[in-house]
Amino acid sequence: MLARRPLLADTPRPMAIRLLPEDVASQVAAGEVVERPASVVKELVENSLDAGAKRIEVTIRRGGASYIRVVDDGSGMDRDDALLCLERHATSKIRTGLDLAAIMTLGFRGEALPSIASVSRFRLTTRPHDALAGTEVAVAGGKIEHVRDSGEAPGTQIEVRSLFYNLPGRRKFLRTEATETSHVAHQLQLQAIGHPGAGFVFVNDDAVVYQAPPAGSLLERIRDLCGAAMAEQLLEVPGFAADGIGIRGYIGKPGVSRATRAQELVFLNGRAVENSGIYFALREAYHTALMKGRHPVTFLVIDMDPAAVDVNVHPAKREVRFRDPAALREAVVESVRKTIETGRAGWSPNARAEPPPLPPPAKTFPAQAAPPLIDEKEQVVLRRDWSLLPRQDIPPAPAPAVTADPPPAGGFKILGVLGKLYILMENASGLVLVDQHAAHERILFEELRRRMEDQGVPAQRLLIPFTIQSTPRDSDWITQNLATLTKMGIGIEPFGAGVHKIDALPQFIRAGDPQQFLRDVIEELRGVSSQSSKMRLGEDVIATTVCRHAVKANDYLREPELVRLIQDLMACELPYCCPHGRPTLIQISYADLEKKFGRKP
Ligand code: ADP
Ligand code: MG
């Protein structure tokens, strides 16, 4: 049997309130700012950048847990400041509460240095450029051990040893050295890309990982840090400005994507930020150029009035709030979408500047030995399913030449068909593989969308209307967007609480599962900001749905049909990926081949 607890002892009593000793308070604050070695590197490098450094050298050992050093050639500090900067809430970057409303610097909280110094063995050496000598301050676990003159070069050097040595609980949370190192590397990469004008050196366990000189441009910096192959996969976002928002940078070509957000980089006034609204806008802008569940590659640089954004949301300053998130989203969508649409002209993902001097393939393969284009026995005539649309109203677009001779610049020569699915082609850069069905889908999709844009979406009355029941949230959304849905050829009206009646669907939709189709439409459209985007996205959903039904597997094409398919594909707005974001074309350049055959290291 349970003993009954005495009533009196149960009564809560007030507990004595005490102010925390300064070092404990710092450790508490450190818990928010200093999560792992990468956060130390972030704070120190931000300080260097705020101090106007043009060269920043970061050295770590054993993932940063045992040693971190950041050396800069920035303004440096005199002795008074070198001591003051270790006090909590000591900062040179803001003075009044008003300044907080428009932060121009990366730091402003005055918490990083005291926090770091309270959880490590810390040494600061600093010297202003016009001073004869510098100052060295050593701190351990928040307590100053010594202050003395030092003869280091002008600038600031901070060493952080034995991170969390006095917080064993925290230290236990650190991951393997390799993981912590990769966090540091990522953090530093963000800073270096956000500030191409500063030079960065990264040394890990006594090996130089990279030495990025001050770069003339963002692209140069991307090339230095992420490699030339990455730079070639990017489109430049031409400078865009509206409503005091500037957008520029580089984004992955359609079809370029990643499984994580690790390369979806967004910089706001020089600060790497994570913001779901911006991510959403990017997804909306890419739309069919991005596979479901994948993330785009971006180096998006947003510049805006610091008063229009609040960076004082999160101690690590990664999250931000915008005064007008809708305007920003529109700006991102518009600039990125334009970039993707105009970027098609330069398709050639792996094209090298100068084609390698290889003999033309025609000499290596005599004409009669060339593989047959198609397997005659198994061949069936393709039902051009996309002829469900009248083709005559589509003006013939200028397409690159498809010939039997060596390909002219920008043209293709069809070599054959692999596995009855992949069309092999040669272009000036090397080999091009085309996924026949993905190509097919893209062509059909664009024809359909063009028709909808010209003539609206024809609706088809249903013989038997049906109803859908939705959650209150979905139902509200539908009610507010009836006009848009109607324009998309969906006849829909309220039919009681949470229920809508559907009596017409877009003509092209084969009503296999109209309920599911509607749910797809609603899900796609719900997050979209503007009415015009909604309409366009709606058309895309309809067109992708139609394509999914219309394109068949295992269609064998005769040569003229192959030529036609390639011409139609290259005339598309976005020829290089299907409406679901999968690639239609893959380039394997001569350089890639040379590498594979070991001709080049
Ligand atoms: P915050 O950056 O938020 O001001 P910190 O604790 O990071 O707070 O730094 C405190 C102050 O120390 C800064 O405001 C700046 O004046 C000075 N400081 C820190 N690091 C450097 C540096 N590398 N070079 C020059 N001054 C620095
Ligand atoms: Mg700082």
What separation in Å is there between the alpha carbon of 223 and the centre of ligand 2?
28
Q: Which residue has the higher pLDDT, 518 or 55?
A: 55
Residue 45: the pLDDT is 98
For the packed helices 472-480 and 514-526, what is the interaxial angle rounded to 10 degrees?
A: 80
Q: Which residue has the higher pLDDT, 370 or 573?
A: 573
434 backbone dihedrals φ, ψ, rounded to 5°: -120, 130
Whether pLDDT at 522 is above 50: yes
What separation in Å is there between the alpha carbon of 481 and the centre of ligand 2?
47
Whether pLDDT at 86 is above 60: yes
What separation in Å is there between the alpha carbon of 245 and the centre of ligand 1?
29
pLDDT tens track for 222-275: 999 998 889 988 999 998 888 889 999 999 988 788 888 989 999 999 999 999
**What pairing do the DSSP bridges indicate for beta strands 264-268 and 298-304?**
parallel
Whole-angstrom Cα distance, residue 354 to residue 357? 9
* Protein residue whose Cα sits closest to atom 27 of ligand 1: 47
**For 88-107, what is the mean pLDDT?**
84
Q: Which of 40, 43, 47, 158 for mutating ligand 1's site (highest number of atoms within 8 Å of CB)?
A: 47
The average confidence (pLDDT) of the chain is: 81
What share of the chain has pLDDT > 90, as a percent?
Answer: 39
Residue 23: the pLDDT is 79
Whole-angstrom Cα distance, residue 174 to residue 36? 7
What separation in Å is there between the alpha carbon of 144 and the centre of ligand 1?
17
- Domains annotated for the chain, with CATH where assigned, are 22-212 (3.30.565.10), 233-349 (3.30.230.10), 373-451+545-596 (3.30.1540.20), 459-535 (3.30.1370.100)
What share of the chain has pLDDT > 70, as a percent?
Answer: 83
**For 200-214, what is the mean pLDDT?**
95
Q: Which of 91, 119, 127, 314 for mutating ligand 1's site (highest number of atoms within 8 Å of CB)?
A: 91
Residue 111 Cα: closest atom of ligand 1: 6
Q: Which ligand is located closest to the Cα atom of residue 49?
A: 1
Q: Which of 50, 83, 311, 317 for mutating ligand 1's site (highest number of atoms within 8 Å of CB)?
A: 50
Whole-angstrom Cα distance, residue 291 to residue 357? 36
Whether pLDDT at 555 is above 80: no
Residue 70: the pLDDT is 98
Whole-angstrom Cα distance, residue 467 to residue 485? 15
Residue 291: the pLDDT is 80
CA gyration radius, the chain: 30
DSSP codes, 402-428: EESSSPPTT-EEEEEEETTTEEEEEET
What separation in Å is there between the alpha carbon of 268 and the centre of ligand 1?
21
- As residues whose CB is below 5 A from the ion ligand 2, the structure lists 47, 107, 112
Which residues' Cβ are closer than 6 Å to ligand 1?
Answer: 43, 47-48, 51, 72, 74-77, 85, 90-93, 107-113, 156
- CA-closest candidate to residue 43, choices 54, 62, 56, 25: 56
pLDDT tens track for 103-139: 888 888 889 999 999 999 999 999 999 999 999 999 9
Which range, of 26-35, 204-213, 276-285, averages the lowest pLDDT?
26-35
pTM of the model: 0.70
Which range, of 66-70, 161-165, 392-396, averages the lowest pLDDT?
392-396
Q: Which ligand is located closest to the Cα atom of residue 135?
A: 1
